[in-house]
């Protein structure tokens, strides 16, 4: 049986973060009495988009991380990518909570997430063609 300890660690941490984001939506729905959709609530609209954005990017990043771990990627690379992804998702949520516009937190979150995905894609494509990125 194959166990992926590093991917599992970050899957667990990111799942806890998803639960926090979900609870935020529920709390705002109760406070503003919005059962479906976002109504007129800007806070709920932001919370729903934070959650949606998380669910759009994080699953793919975890799948790519698992593939990298299965392919023998170094632990240092996997921990760095997982840590960056976790921090980036917190930054994105913080930035979008503070402002619907551009913010440094949101920018760091987006760039961090995209860097992780780009690196993972490059790593896996390199792996397929025989290029090693392991340190």
Query: What pLDDT digit, counting tens, does each position of 58-72 carry?
Result: 999 999 999 999 999
CA 118, 124, 127, 129 dihedral sign is: negative
Which residue ranges make up each domain of the chain? 5-129
The band of 107, judged by pLDDT with boundaries at 50, 70 and 90, is: very high
Whether the pLDDT of residue 135 is over 60: the answer is no
Is residue 113 within 8 A of residue 133, CB to CB? The reply is no
The predicted structure's pLDDT at residue 90: 97
For the residues 108-130, what does the mean pLDDT come to?
A: 96
* CATH class belonging to 5-129: mainly alpha
Of the chain, the percentage scoring pLDDT greater than 90 comes to 77
3-state percent helix, strand, coil for the chain, nearest multiple of 5: 80, 0, 20
pLDDT of residue 45: 92
Average pLDDT over residues 4-25: 97
């Amino acid at each position: 049986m194959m166990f992926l300890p590093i991917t599992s660690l970050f899957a667990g941490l990111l799942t806890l973060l998803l639960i926090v984001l979900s609870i935020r939506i529920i709390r705002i729905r109760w406070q503003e009495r919005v059962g479906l959709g976002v109504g007129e609530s800007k806070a709920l609209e932001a919370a729903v988009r934070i959650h949606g954005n998380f669910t759009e990017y994080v699953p793919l990043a975890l799948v790519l991380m698992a593939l990298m771990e299965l392919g023998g990627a170094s632990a240092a690379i996997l921990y760095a990518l997982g840590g960056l992804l976790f921090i980036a998702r917190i930054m994105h949520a913080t930035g979008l909570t503070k402002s619907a516009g551009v913010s440094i937190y949101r920018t760091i979150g987006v760039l961090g997430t995209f860097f992780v995905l780009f690196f993972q894609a490059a790593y896996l494509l390199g792996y397929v063609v025989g290029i090693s990125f392991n340190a």
